[in-house]
């Protein structure tokens, strides 16, 4: 029984393989036959296209870089001394001028300390006045020989000690007054409150940010430029900036800084593009595309970008032969953009190429044509 079962299984497997082979062969032959019929049908058919002559022209390349918008100036505003925030006067989005009061700290304890320091200063000043009078009196008596030199030295030392106590009290009072003044937190520059870090009632430690103020009347688009392109840009160059969030708006900026050293190992440089933002439409953190013009390339062979045809991963073009047929030719391209493609290798000046209707063509197709308006110069 086992032998019969094995034979049955083997026979079934052979039959299945044969069936699959026959089906696959039929599918292949059908496809091949359809292709042959299509080729025969296309033979003799003339495809109407537009053509242009290959010529030389000047190309002004524009390189596009990605960038993030940042404020020209921003700072975290913090308290110089510890204290609980008694009042916070601003909200996110508020515009503040230089010197505008942003917050007040609770000053009850500081005010009491200032009053105490003022009292200590007055007490020490009174002691100094008395010590000065005693010293002058004893100094006069010592001149008459009525008191000893030791008594005069003691009076002088007491006077000098009182002077030191007055200065110490004055310094302590000045320090407490400065702390009291620092309880009023002001903006160091004009700008917009872009972020609140703390709320009223929170305890603010010295140096801890309370709000962030930024000057957004101008923004920086920071972008990374490769080593190969850095020599082609200079500070002061005018560039165009487009923001994805505002597709219908294009702004003009200028390159204001280029980092003096490359970032390794990528060997890239950071360029700052300053963009006016007086209307406040642009926001910090927006994504932007920076179009930086490169030096013009004069007299290069260029063809309309629309004439290019992708074949796998290669860029090709259909070239018109003398018998009004086309030959698909692989190109080596340079700069592509602005509607034109720079041809480094694959075409020569004066050849005719298909600029429209190439989606109906294949290598060897017969064509009829009219001269395209996008011809060379």
Q: Could you write out the DSSP letters of every residue in 336-376?
A: EETTEEEEEES--TT-EEEEE-GGG--TT-EEEEEE-TT--
Please state the φ and ψ torsions of residue 189, each to the nearest 5 degrees: -150, 165
Q: What is the dihedral of CA 9, 11, 15, 17, to 10 degrees?
A: 70
Maximum pairwise Cα distance, the chain? 150
pLDDT in tens, 206-248: 888 999 999 999 999 999 998 888 888 889 989 999 998 888 8
pLDDT at 41: 46
* Band (368; pLDDT cuts 50, 70, 90): confident
Q: Chain centroid to CA 87: how far?
A: 35
pLDDT of residue 214: 94
Phi, psi of 5 (to 5 degrees): -65, -40
- Predicted TM-score of the model (pTM): 0.61
- List helix spans (H) across the chain: 2-42, 108-144, 149-182, 227-230
Predicted confidence (pLDDT) at residue 4 exceeds the cutoff of 60 = no
114-148: pLDDT as tens digits:
999 999 999 999 999 999 998 888 888 888 888 88
Going by the DSSP 8-state scheme, the letter that residue 233 receives in this structure is -
Q: How far is CA 51 from CA 298, 361, 374, in A?
A: 24, 13, 9
Picking from 291, 296, 298, 278, the residue whose alpha carbon sits closest to that of residue 238 is 291
Please state the φ and ψ torsions of residue 15, each to the nearest 5 degrees: -60, -40
Q: Give CA–CA dist 129/165, Å, rounded.
A: 12
pLDDT, one tens digit per residue, over 59-105 is: 988 888 999 899 989 999 998 888 899 999 999 989 999 999 999 99
Query: What's the confidence (pLDDT) of residue 273?
Result: 93
**If you count them, how many residues does the chain have?**
377
Q: Which domains does the chain have, with CATH numbers?
A: 46-59+297-371 (2.40.420.20), 107-182 (1.10.287), 216-293 (2.40.30.170)
Q: How confident is the model at residue 166 (pLDDT cuts 50, 70, 90)?
A: very high
Query: What is the predicted pLDDT for the residue at 143?
Result: 82
């Amino acid at each position: 029984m086992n032998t019969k079962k094995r034979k049955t299984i083997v026979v079934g497997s052979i039959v299945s393989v044969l069936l699959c082979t026959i089906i696959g062969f039929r599918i292949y032959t059908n496809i091949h036959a359809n292709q042959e019929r299509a080729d025969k049908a296309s033979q003799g058919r003339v495809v109407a296209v537009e053509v242009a002559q290959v010529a030389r022209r000047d190309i002004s390349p524009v390189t596009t870089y990605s960038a993030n918008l940042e404020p020209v100036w921003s700072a975290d505003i913090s308290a110089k001394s510890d204290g609980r925030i008694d009042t916070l006067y601003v909200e996110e989005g508020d515009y503040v001028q230089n010197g505008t009061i942003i917050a007040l700290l609770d000053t009850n304890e500081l005010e009491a300390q200032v009053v105490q320091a003022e009292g200590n200063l007055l007490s020490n000043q009174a002691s100094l006045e008395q010590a000065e009078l005693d010293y002058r009196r004893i100094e006069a008596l010592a001149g008459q020989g009525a008191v000893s030199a030791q008594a005069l030295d003691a009076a002088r030392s007491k006077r000098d000690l009182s002077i030191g106590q007055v200065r110490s009290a004055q310094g302590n009072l000045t320090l407490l007054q400065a702390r009291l003044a620092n309880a009023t937190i002001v903006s160091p520059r004009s700008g917009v409150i872009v972020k609140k870090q703390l709320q009223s009632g929170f305890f603010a430690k010295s140096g801890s940010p309370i709000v962030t103020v930024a000057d957004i009347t101008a923004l920086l688009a920071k972008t990374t430029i490769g080593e190969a392109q850095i020599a082609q840009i200079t500070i002061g160059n005018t560039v165009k900036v487009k923001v994805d969030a505002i597709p219908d708006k294009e702004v003009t900026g200028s390159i204001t800084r280029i980092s003096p050293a490359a970032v390794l190992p990528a060997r890239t440089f950071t360029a700052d593009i300053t963009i006016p933002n007086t209307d406040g439409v642009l926001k910090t953190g927006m994504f932007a595309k920076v179009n930086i013009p490169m030096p013009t390339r004069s007299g290069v062979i260029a063809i309309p970008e629309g004439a290019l045809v992708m074949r796998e991963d290669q860029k090709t073009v259909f070239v018109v032969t003398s018998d009004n047929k086309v030959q698909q030719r692989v190109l080596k391209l340079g700069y592509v953009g602005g509607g034109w493609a720079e041809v480094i290798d694959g075409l020569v000046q004066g050849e005719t190429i298909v600029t429209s209707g190439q989606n109906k063509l294949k290598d060897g197709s017969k064509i009829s044509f009219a001269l395209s308006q996008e011809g060379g110069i």
